[in-house]
Chain A
């Protein structure tokens, strides 16, 4: 499959795989650029060749859904009962009882530290005045997580017990995790009708894959001897599985449970966009739409507090811990119950409390004053980034350079000079033996001049295919071409390019910023001491909340979306870069030191090359994060597929929702496979 094309004579033969691929892409790009004006079909995919895929999908899925609708509605009815009960219980339970219970659980799990976290976290919710909304959200999570955990457990065990299914299950999980969160909602709305149950089911579906993955991983990692000891003890297969293997894998499974909880919480909050339920996500959305930043900030903080409490407590479950005294827990709970009794007798109710309204007010006015006094600066930041960064990337220098922004009009002369400079740099690199780098410079210049959103489709498809060929060979080329071909046929290509541009820009920014931060964190413990808690925090916050701060300062628009995506997606890049750089084996470092390498020489000659596969994996994660956030960011102003998915949600347009969601998943999947291919190739080259 991976055999090279027919060997030829001349300089072609001496070129590396990468250089050949780059030259081919360059040839395609130049052809498209030169002939694009005469032949429209070289730039935009001809409409005549698209098929009404959204209609087809809409009809098929619609038919499918209508068949299952009665069943689904019944199921939804069935689920609404426990949800109502839990909701009613949590809402009507006196708040000191809930606070006491959570504090007691915190104590049981992690002693004083987590008890304090539980107490102050829930205490904050009490005084924020969002108690009822918070409890509604908690009720959704409480019902959806057992569903998701059970589903994930079943899938994981099934994949483990029936090895033939493993490939299929892994593929399914990949798709489930790359399909953007919003895209789940549209078909579910059709199936289950509007209402909180949709959010519940969506979050159960969304949260199951991490559980399933970790169950499978944990079971696979159970020590072979433990497995054999269970067999030799005469256990039946079921006894082996439930008495030995699952308990032995419990740590990994708890890691999965933690991720499952966080995913469920995140999705429950996202699902608030379909409304119908007085939960905390809805509160954020509502206040954001009304541009009430103070309350939005406060409600967002409540979400963050929930996320932190749930995350830290469930993460502690996955660690080995010392048993805490049950009596203390009981005592804490008793105190809570006693206060609860008092509060009931005294008729004291937290929903009327809003001790932090003052704070919200302050934040609101503070932000107002700040934006008013620094408006010029903020605008300058935003406009500079837009006009000199994002816009040229999107529509190309030729269109983005205008007199009222850049001060001059881009003409054919500029184009000639621009390409001449690029050709000189590229040629120089090529002459110094760096043929691939040289050609890539010219290709990059080409993209910059045309703009990603206006890039000719042959250039994008062949470019991606060439990357696939260099990364891992013909099988990946086939996959890339088929998947991208599907988007072309669907007629969603232009929107896909817009999505590609915004996520590409964010990923590039994340790669630079995250790479630098990761590098600094690897070299200095002090930097890491600062960066680490920020990373922890950013990873805990549900996606939705990232929209609040960017909206406060930069209003609705592409730049805000870009910032939100970057904040969310930068973390893996930082973590993996640092991890890669510090995990060089000690003997390699010693060998380098013994050879007389200094600190920086060791860093660039030994650590960096060794870290390359890990850093690539970080980049991969960043890309997937960016795609996931792209759709959420549609709420505050993006174009492209994310917007389509969001629109489809509003109109319950299953065809558009599913097709656009699939197109998004395809982009993410293609990017994932390409980067994974390169990472794999690097790992092999390093003999790892």
Chain B
């Protein structure tokens, strides 16, 4: 859905390094003269420096939902903070809409943040001394918007996230799910082009998490932001992403569509992640098509290109008639329809039934 309307990349990350420790920059410079990335990492570790992000390279297309997935400590939070320049990367470059933001002045950075960038935090980062509406209106206040305008816009975005009526509550009066709705609303208040979400749903209960994921997808369907989304949950990544980058020990090990990740993992590490994933939900019929079309095919359940494996399986089951069920003594106790079996296995995850 993004390929067609993509223009210049919204975000381009090139050879980005983040090394923690004393004199990291010069140590990295020296080490990189010596050899390839692996050797560099070894050298840095020998000096008790921590390479949290290693030579990250990727682009996020305009309107794309780009998910960075990895376990805790894999460097994904550091990476998103480098891109938003909440911390200064040790080396490399980050271009946002063609502008190198690592070279942006403090003033320009403030300007960008006031107009172009929005961010949602794992633990919400709500200001405890402000009401919900004041929290949401805060980025507008920074822009210099007047009180009435801030309130009006706050009500709009709060409506968008389904929090109408709670405008004058304080964060401490809200549940976790509601708090994150406020966080989302705040990040959308200035209508940013680029949207950073740092594990926005990880601190929530599974049920609330799914609800918010669905709403998030709805919002994105109308707003079409360019998004960098961090998660440690492979199911969440597969459900939301246009493309996924998988990180391990600060290194991006694979970038690909959900189908790529599930069906064509580059190594055992990625494979391990996707082991419990029902592949039927993320792969399409094309991925299992035979090399040669058989001579005769008596049945035709009308499979289409782009149909997920689960849906295709369900369609095929429709061809069978109901079958009997027997008890231990050999008596028939009832009958089931194969299609029902397939339907029972199918999980309605709200993402539709097409791969693309």
Residue of B nearest to A232 (CB): B119
Q: Chain A: which residue is nearest B122 at the CB level?
A: A225
Complex Cα gap A552–B94 (Å): 76
Q: Is A226 an interface residue (CB 8 A)?
A: yes
- The complex places the Cα of A518 from the Cα of B220 at a distance, in Å, of 59
Q: Which residues from chain A contact B266 at a C-beta distance below 8 Å? A: none
A-facing residues in B110-128 (Cβ within 8 Å)? 110-115, 117-119, 121-128
B75 at the A interface (CB under 8 A): no
A231 to B139, CA, bound (A): 10
Task: Give chain B nearest CB distance to A185 CB in angstroms.
Answer: 39
The tally of residues in B whose CB lies under 8 Å from a CB in A reads 33
* Chain A residue nearest to B123 in the complex (CB): A225
Q: Do the beta carbons of B86 and A231 come within 8 Å of each other?
A: yes
In whole angstroms, what is the CA distance A223 to B113 when docked?
Answer: 20
Q: Which chain B residues border A229 with CB–CB below 8 Å?
A: 119, 121, 125-127, 183, 186
Within the assembled complex, what's the spacing in Å between the Cα atoms of A244 and B172? 16
A234 close to chain B: CB less than 8 A: yes
> Could you tell me if A236 and B110 are in contact, using CB atoms closer than 8 angstroms?
yes
For B117, list chain A residues within 8 Å (CB). 232
Taking a contact as CB atoms under 8 Å apart, the answer to whether A226 and B113 are in contact is: no
**A225 and B125 within 8 A (CB):** yes
Q: Given contacts A226-B126, A228-B86, A247-B129, are A233 and B121 in contact (CB under 8 A)?
A: no
Q: Chain A nearest CB: distance from B73 CB in Å?
A: 16
Expressed in whole angstroms, the minimum distance between the Cβ of B150 and any Cβ of chain A is 12
In the complex, which of the residues A225, A230, A231, A239 contacts B124, with contact meaning CB atoms closer than 8 Å? A225
Q: Which residues of B contact A226 (CB under 8 A)?
A: 125-128
Inter-chain contact B139/A233, CB cutoff 8 Å:
yes
B143 within 8 A of A: yes
- B257 CB to closest chain A CB, in angstroms? 29
Complex Cα distance, B139 from A99, in Å, reads 44
Residues of B near A320 (CB, < 8 A) are 172
B119 with A228: CB separation less than 8 A: yes
Q: Name B190-216 residues within 8 Å CB distance of A.
A: 190, 196
Tell whether, in the assembled complex, residue A234 and residue B123 are in contact, meaning their CB atoms are under 8 Å apart: no
B138 on the A face (CB < 8 A): yes
Render A245-277 as a binary contact track against B, CB cut-off 8 A, 1 for contact.
Answer: 001101000000000000000000000000000
B311 interface hit (Cβ, 8 Å): no
A199-247, CB < 8 A from B: 223, 225-226, 228-236, 239, 243-244, 247
Tell me the smallest distance from the CB of B154 to a CB of chain A, in Å.
Answer: 13
Bitwise, B173-198 to A at CB < 8 A (1) or not (0) is: 00000000001001100100000100
Please name all residues of chain A whose beta carbon is closer than 8 Å to the beta carbon of B130 when the two chains form the complex.
Answer: 247
Docked complex Cα distance between A228 and B129 (Å): 16
Residues of chain A within 8 A of B84, CB atoms compared = 232
A235 contacts across to B, CB distance below 8 A: 110, 142
In the assembled complex, the CB of B74 is this many whole angstroms from the nearest CB of chain A, namely: 19
Q: Which A residues are CB-close (under 8 A) to B115? A: 234
- In the assembly, what is the distance between CA of A239 and CA of B81, in Å? 21
The contact of A234 among B81, B111, B125, by CB within 8 Å, is: B111
Please tell me if the beta carbons of B113 and A248 are within 8 angstroms of each other in the complex: no
- Chain A residues in 8 Å Cβ range of B183: 229
Shortest beta-carbon distance, A358 to chain B, in Å?
A: 50
Asked whether A250 and B110 contact (CB < 8 A) given A225-B123, A239-B142, the answer is: no
Known: A225-B121, A225-B122. A234 touches B127 (CB 8 A): no
> Taking chain A's interface residues, is the majority helix, strand, or loop, or is none over half, making it mixed?
helix
In the complex the two chains form, what is the Cα distance from A531 to B129 in whole Å? 36
Per-residue CB contact flags for chain A residues 77-113 toward chain B (1 = under 8 Å, else 0) read 0000000000000000000000000000000000000
Contacts of A230 in B (CB 8 A): 127, 138
Interchain nearest-CB distance for A345 vs B (Å):
45
Q: Give Cα distance in the complex from A243 to B187, angstroms.
A: 18
A114, B128: Cα distance in complex, Å = 25
Which residues of B are found within 8 Å of A236, using beta-carbon distances?
110
Cβ contacts under 8 Å, A234 to chain B:
110-115, 139, 142-143, 190
**Chain B residues whose C-beta falls within 8 Å of the C-beta of A250 in the assembled complex:** 129
Smallest CB separation, B347 vs chain A (Å): 33
Chain A: minimal CB distance from B356 (Å): 33
Q: How far is the CB of A191 from chain B (nearest CB, A)?
A: 40
Residue in A225, A229, A230, A235 whose Cβ sees the most chain B Cβ within 10 Å: A229
Contact between chains at B118 and A232 (CB < 8 Å):
yes
Write the nearest CB–CB distance from A403 to chain B, whole angstroms. Answer: 70
Alpha-carbon separation in the docked complex, A228 to B183 (Å):
12
Bitwise, A26-66 to B at CB < 8 A (1) or not (0) is 00000000000000000000000000000000000000000
B86 and A232 form a contact (CB under 8 A): yes
In whole Å, how far is B249's beta carbon from the nearest beta carbon of chain A? 23
CB-CB under 8 A from B121, the residues of chain A are 225, 228-229
B134 to chain A, nearest CB (A): 10
For residue A229, which residue of chain B has the nearest CB?
Answer: B125
Give CA–CA (A232, B112) in the complex, Å: 9
Q: How far is the CB of A238 from chain B (nearest CB, A)?
A: 11
Hey, which chain A residues are within 8 Å of B125, CB to CB?
223, 225-226, 228-229
Closest Cβ neighbor of B85 among chain A residues: A231
- Specify which chain B residues have a CB less than 8 angstroms from the CB of A248 in the assembled complex: 127-129
Bound state CA distance, A243 and B125, in angstroms?
A: 14
Q: Which residues of B contact A232 (CB under 8 A)?
A: 84, 86, 113, 117-119, 139, 187, 196
- Across the interface, do A223 and B123 meet the contact criterion of CB distance under 8 Å? yes
Q: Across the interface, do B113 and A231 meet the contact criterion of CB distance under 8 Å? A: yes
Q: Closest residue to B196 on the A side, CB-wise?
A: A232
CB 8 Å contact bits of B52-92 with A (1 = contact, 0 = none):
00000000000000000000000000000100101000000
A320 to B129 Cα, complex, angstroms: 11
What separation, in Å, do the CA atoms of A247 and B186 have in the docked complex?
18
Q: Quick one: closest A residue to B115, CB to CB? A: A234
Return A302 CB to nearest CB of chain B, in Å. Answer: 37
Taking CB atoms, residues of chain A closer than 8 Å to B118 are 232
Q: Per a CB cutoff under 8 Å, which of A223, A225, A228, A233 touches B114?
A: A233
B138 to A, closest residue via Cβ: A233
A244–B139 Cα distance when bound, in Å, is 12
Report the minimal beta-carbon distance from A267 to chain B, rounded to whole angstroms: 31
The complex places the Cα of A230 from the Cα of B118 at a distance, in Å, of 11
**Bound state CA distance, A229 and B126, in angstroms?**
8
Q: Name A residues whose Cβ lies closer than 8 Å to a Cβ of B.
A: 223, 225-226, 228-236, 239, 243-244, 247-248, 250, 320
9 smallest beta-carbon distances between A and B, as pairs:
A234-B114, A225-B125, A234-B113, A229-B125, A233-B139, A225-B121, A232-B119, A247-B129, A234-B142
Pick 19 A–B contacts, CB within 8 A, sort by A: A225-B121, A228-B119, A228-B125, A229-B119, A229-B126, A231-B86, A231-B113, A232-B84, A232-B113, A232-B117, A232-B196, A233-B139, A234-B111, A234-B115, A236-B110, A239-B142, A248-B127, A250-B129, A320-B172
Told that A223-B123, A225-B123 touch, could you supply 9 new A-B pairs with CB distance under 8 A? A225-B121, A225-B122, A228-B125, A229-B121, A230-B127, A232-B196, A234-B114, A234-B139, A247-B130
